[in-house]
């Protein structure tokens, strides 16, 4: 993987072609990372994939972190790999939570809104509100999909949407992948209520009464 000076060289070369794209660098625990402007994420990923001498052509992981109460709240992490050199680099795009700011009508979002997504008993999801926005929901963070650059990201972006509510614009099929289609809420967000549906061990009931 690039060392700290090598990471700065990569940053300088990206900045030459895409000014303002890289906001900062990080070399924490020997893990090199580029913190980039979310608006230019595809430019940075494409540069790392296609520039001779870089050739980070495989995306091994795409995942999301929720840093609540920090702001920007969310980060989309892209783990890129150059398999010939066995080198890894991380790209991180920070996203603010649009629902955290009061709306024009004064109806701002709060952590209590996540609890409201559960039924009155707190034992299951409400189904009166669709969890799959047909049009991008302005209360959800958005970033461009990178499926066109890295096809392996298709299911990983769906999982990030399913659990964190990150909208990947341009994704070919941005639907839930693990949770039920009618599930409401984003269960891996830090303000999502702990608990939910009770586990029923039907095998024991059927065999032992």
Domain chopping of the chain, boundaries: 4-192
pLDDT at 126 over 90: no
The residue among 183 and 45 whose pLDDT is bigger is 45
Work out the mean pLDDT of the chain and round it to a whole number. 83
Which range is least confidently modeled, 67-81, 114-128, 139-153?
114-128
- What confidence score (pLDDT) does residue 2 get? 82
φ and ψ at residue 47, rounded to 5 degrees:
-65, -45
Read off the pLDDT of each residue in 158-165 and give the average, rounded to a whole number: 97
Question: Residue 94: which pLDDT band, with cuts at 50, 70 and 90?
Answer: very high
Domain 4-192 fold: Beta Polymerase; domain 2 (3.30.460)
pLDDT at 73 over 60: yes
Instruction: Tell me the DSSP string of 92-146.
Output: EEEE--GGGSPPTTS----THHHHHTB-TTSSSB--SS-SS-SS--TTS-EEE--
- What confidence score (pLDDT) does residue 11 get? 96
How long a stretch of residues is the chain? 209
Read off the pLDDT of each residue in 140-155 and give the average, rounded to a whole number: 97
pLDDT at 201 over 90: no
Read off the pLDDT of each residue in 8-25 and give the average, rounded to a whole number: 96
Read off the pLDDT of each residue in 16-31 and give the average, rounded to a whole number: 92
């Amino acid at each position: 993987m690039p060392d700290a000076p090598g990471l700065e060289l990569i940053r300088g070369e990206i900045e030459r072609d895409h000014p303002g794209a890289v906001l900062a660098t990080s070399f924490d625990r020997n893990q090199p990372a580029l913190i980039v402007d979310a608006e230019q994420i595809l430019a940075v990923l494409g540069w790392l994939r296609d520039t001779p001498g870089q050739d980070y052509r495989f995306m091994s992981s795409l995942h999301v972190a929720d840093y609540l109460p920090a702001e920007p709240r969310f980060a989309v992490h892209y783990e890129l790999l150059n398999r010939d050199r066995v080198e890894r680099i991380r790209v991180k795009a920070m996203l603010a939570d649009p629902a955290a700011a009061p709306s024009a009508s004064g109806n701002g979002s709060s952590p209590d809104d996540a609890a409201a997504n559960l039924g009155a008993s707190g034992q299951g999801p409400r189904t009166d509100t669709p969890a799959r926005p047909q049009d991008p929901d302005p209360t959800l963070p958005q970033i461009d999909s990178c499926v066109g650059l890295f096809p392996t990201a298709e299911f990983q972006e769906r999982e990030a949407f399913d659990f964190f509510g990150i909208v990947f614009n341009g994704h070919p099929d941005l639907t839930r992948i693990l949770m039920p289609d009618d599930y409401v809420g984003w269960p891996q967000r830090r303000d999502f209520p702990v608990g939910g549906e009770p586990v029923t061990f039907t095998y024991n009931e059927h065999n032992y009464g």
